[in-house]
């Protein structure tokens, strides 16, 4: 099984490459509607990042890596005599989609290095590099989940905030990956997901994602978290952050 394949405890994917284009789960419509958008040009990937169709630092970086594949494919069609320069300009457009996103800049820089080395079949070379970015993220998340879950011992309840799961990453999740691993190892019995105002990533995304994977979750009003913790209802708080 490759890292990109889904499992029973990881059945959600924010984005997938299919044949010659990128498919994105439209997170703006969750949980009421599970719909997907197809991105066939780098401009469409940039729009998806800008409009929060795809969100979460790792997922944005992976989307940009696949967007770089589309940039090269489009440049080869439109400017075969100067396709490298044309592709480079399209990568600039991807970066401008979310100027503050760390993973976006990192992924595009990595893909630029591949672009500089491409000789025969550049689209295939770029796609292999984008898949590597995606696979490495999922593998890192699963390892992080194992290491984090090993620290949890009392089979209690955990609290999480925002969304750090498969929807925010290539798959499995960072902080939510720890929760997934802990649940699989029977180290926790309950998850509290704070609603996460004003965009409600916790109530719209985390609660939906955990329900999809059969992990017991209770939605918590943000302002009730301190009361729950004071009463001893939470043993661990597990969250994620772009920058520390």
Which active-site residues does the annotation give?
242
Cα gap 84→155, rounded to integer Å:
54
Q: Tell me how crowded residue 180 is: count the other CB atoms within 10 A of its CB.
A: 27
Name the phi and psi angles at 167, rounded to 5: -70, -25
Cα gap 24→35, rounded to integer Å:
9
Please give the DSSP secondary-structure letter assigned to residue 146. H
Cα gap 61→55, rounded to integer Å:
10
- For the CA atoms of 240, 183, 4, 12, what is the dihedral angle to 10 degrees? -80
């Amino acid at each position: 099984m490759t890292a990109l394949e889904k499992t029973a405890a990881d059945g959600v994917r924010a984005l997938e490459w299919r044949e010659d284009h990128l498919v994105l789960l439209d997170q703006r419509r969750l949980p009421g509607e599970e719909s997907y958008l197809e991105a066939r040009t780098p401009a469409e990937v940039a729009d998806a990042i800008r409009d929060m169709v795809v969100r979460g630092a790792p997922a944005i970086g992976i989307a940009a890596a696949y967007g770089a594949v589309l940039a090269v494919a489009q440049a080869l069609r439109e400017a075969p005599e100067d396709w490298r320069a044309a592709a480079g300009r399209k990568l600039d457009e991807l970066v401008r989609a979310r100027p503050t996103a760390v993973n976006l800049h990192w992924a595009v820089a990595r893909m630029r290095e591949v672009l500089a080395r491409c000789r025969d079949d550049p689209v295939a070379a770029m796609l292999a590099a984008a898949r590597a970015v995606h696979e490495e993220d999922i593998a890192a998340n699963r390892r992080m989940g194992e290491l984090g879950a090993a620290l949890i011992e009392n089979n209690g309840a955990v609290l999480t905030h925002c969304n750090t799961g498969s929807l925010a990453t290539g798959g499995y999740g960072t902080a939510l990956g720890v929760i997934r691993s802990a649940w699989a190892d029977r180290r926790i019995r309950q998850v509290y997901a704070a609603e996460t105002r004003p965009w409600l990533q916790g109530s719209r995304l985390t609660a939906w994602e955990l329900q999809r994977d059969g992990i017991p979750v209770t939605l918590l009003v943000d302002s009730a978290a301190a009361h729950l913790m004071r009463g001893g209802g939470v043993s661990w708080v597990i969250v994620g952050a772009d920058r520390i």
